[in-house]
Structure 1
Amino acid sequence: MEETVDREVLRPAPGREPSDAVASHQNPGGSALLDQVFGHDDITLLRHEVLQRLEPGLLGDRLDGFVLAINEVITNVVLHAGGSGRLVLSRTATAVWCTVTDSGPGIPEEHRHPPEAPGAFEDGGRGIWLAYQLCDEVTMATGPIGTTIGLRIDLPARLSTSDLLNGASAGG
């Protein structure tokens, strides 16, 4: 019997459309910064390792949000998907990707769509919502043999001296 895997791309937040010419549901590869298997006892260490692998200033003021999104996804793996997973952090010329894979039972249908903000007194349900708010793209491939969540954050535009002399601005 053939297993089916549902692949879904959660649309980017308004104004955060993909800038890479790569299919939005795939990690475009690039330079591997970290490839780590993790479990419950590794969450804090892994979060610090991610911070160390990203160059100072690389993501500007969005660094902490990206690391928070990664933390939420790996915590979900530990709590809901069998307790262990694999994180791969990579960089392209225009973005940083984090792909988290587990071998859990898959994400239930009701949690596969772009989530709405959880209620103030709801217990849980904020991990994927936060990732969606803090990243430029969130992708999901899930099925009965596991799930892969991809998180992408675009690198801030870098302006050269000639760009500045010719009137370019950081806003585009």
Structure 2
Amino acid sequence: MSEDDVPLSAPDTAKELRFSLDDLPEVREFAAVQARSKGMPEDAVGDFVVALNEVATNAVTHGAPEARLRLWGDRDGLVVDIHDEGKDWHPEGWPGRAGPPDNATGGMGLWVARKLSTDIYLETGSNGTTVTMRFTV
């Protein structure tokens, strides 16, 4: 999955969690438990949770008050998508591709997620925004 690829569809067996800003601690715990259950090495779980938290935080602070997380494993690793129904985001190019400017205090979430995931895909439009990330297990 990359900028030129079509994102994967979540299987019926995907674990799903709906969340708001106040739920972010539970989102991180849910993700860590799921990653471990899919065989992710313990030394990789921290980076996985950081990437997922960055995207989840963006979803509920910039997208919509509630969002959805889906997580599943496949033969290539662990896949997670985070969807919000915010409709006002119209990015130019591929957000998160360039690093933040010197002394930045925000605007790094997608860049961090891109650095920590194996692949990342972003889709935004009239139905909101979905960020799909793959991680090696």
Report the TM range for the smaller structure's normalisation. Answer: 0.7 to 0.9
Written as runs of structure 1 = structure 2, the 5 A alignment for 1:1-172 is 9-10=2-3, 24-27=5-8, 29=10, 32=13, 34-55=15-36, 58-60=39-41, 61-110=43-92, 112-155=94-137
Q: Mind listing any 5+ residue stretches in structure 1 that lack a counterpart?
A: 1-8, 12-23, 156-172
Aligned to 1:110, what secondary structure does the other structure show?
Answer: coil
- State the Cα RMSD in Å: 2.4
**CA shift at 1:144, angstroms?**
2.9
Q: Mind listing any 5+ residue stretches in structure 2 that lack a counterpart?
A: none
Aligned to 1:10, what secondary structure does the other structure show?
Answer: coil
Going from structure 1 to structure 2, the CA distance change for 1:35 and 1:104 (only over 3 Å counts) comes to same
The separation in 2 between residues aligned to 1:67 and 1:32, in whole angstroms, is 21
Give the TM-score taking structure 2 as reference length: 0.85
Give the TM-score taking structure 1 as reference length: 0.70
The answer (yes or no) to whether the contact 1:30–1:91 under 8 Å persists in 2 is: no
Rg larger in structure: 1
Percent of aligned pairs with the same residue? 25
Going from structure 1 to structure 2, the CA distance change for 1:103 and 1:28 (only over 3 Å counts) comes to closer
Aligned length: 136
- 121-130 vs 29-38, which moves further: 29-38
Task: Give runs of ≥4 in structure 1 deviating > 6 Å.
Answer: none
Going from structure 1 to structure 2, the CA distance change for 1:81 and 1:150 (only over 3 Å counts) comes to same
The answer (yes or no) to whether the contact 1:106–1:147 under 8 Å persists in 2 is: no
The answer (yes or no) to whether the contact 2:67–2:83 under 8 Å persists in 1 is: yes
Aligned to 2:81, what secondary structure does the other structure show?
Answer: strand
Going from structure 1 to structure 2, the CA distance change for 1:62 and 1:42 (only over 3 Å counts) comes to same
Residue-by-residue CA offset, 1:81-101 (whole Å, 9 max, x unaligned): 122110001001221000001
